[in-house]
Structure 1
Amino acid sequence: MIKGVHFLAIVALLSLAFSLVSTFDPSPLQDICVAIDDHKSGLQIPKNTENQVGSNVTTMNVDQILGLNTIGISLVRINYAPYGQNAVHTHPRATEILVVVEGTLLVGFVTSNPKNRLFTKIRKKGDVFVFPIDLIHVQFNAGETNVVAFAGSSSQNAGAITIVNAIFGSNPPINANVLAKAFQLDMNFIEALQKKF
């Protein structure tokens, strides 16, 4: 009787372990979608960086390339003017890997609570950096020349939340009293920031 109970317990544990392993990270691939149209991605074309942040992101995700449907990847090209940045942001659905193909770029991310530790590196031509899923990260051209980088993500649509836009440009706006208390700033200053967005 005891041997039978042990056998059943072992079978139950193995079944549980197998079900966890087999369902932990299933492949999103259910079928493939071959894009018939000869679509030019535009990733070879430098984009205009004359804007407030001094950068331009050319996105190639499932919205632009139908063949990415269910594949689980996407790509962007980022052009940076001198001292331009890809505004502080996060990707809620993907890890990002970035490679610098021209220039020098300061990159980094902040770990989650409670430590909120900043990790930064200087990346030059050919260097790679990984931004873990959903962590706030920064990309800044600290030089006097243009920078070009390509980044791939582990999602057909990584999503992007630009932190400053989300906080100060939400619609409807977040109550200025709430933001003043959260940032420990004067409410007039918060209202001035909200008007910029």
Structure 2
Amino acid sequence: MESDKVELERMAVNLSGRQIRDNSLVKTVEKTLQSTHCRAEWLELEITESFIMQETGHSMETLDSLRKLGTHMAIDDFGTGYSSLSYLKRLPVDKLKIDRSFVRDLVNDPNDAAITRAIIALGKTLQLTITAEGIENMAQEVFLKEQGCDQGQGFRYGRPLLAADITHMLEQESLNLRSSMICL
């Protein structure tokens, strides 16, 4: 992660339910961090809200063990599942990611705007970092920034890229990348 050209603050990786249920996941992450000389705090592991609602104690213990390694944990697609808010106070997470389905029309749809405001307020009260997914235009960005959203991702900032394409882009433009997210 550290080089003369690129400085990454954090890399986000989606975890599947199968991976989280795998008894060797914590050891695998630990060994990977050691072999790549990466710090645990550079890694953000994302789990979906719907996965959380289906899981048992073992998976929650795994997530807690991953967080104890020093990794960051995020709930992806927040607001799309049938979650109980009581889970939020028990989960070992650092971040809520607002699903793009609320961001898409938040400027024109008062219900989407209200839900987005509520998610941001809830997350802030729980001292979580808030990231909005699916930002495509300045009006969405301005609204989210005014509401206190911390980070954003979406086509407004760039299309998803393969690792090789990111490396090439950074080498070509000699960019100093500070984060995998855009701070609002």
TM-score by length of 1: 0.27
Structure with the higher fraction of residues in helix conformation: 2
TM-score by length of 2: 0.29
Structure with the higher fraction of residues in strand conformation: 1
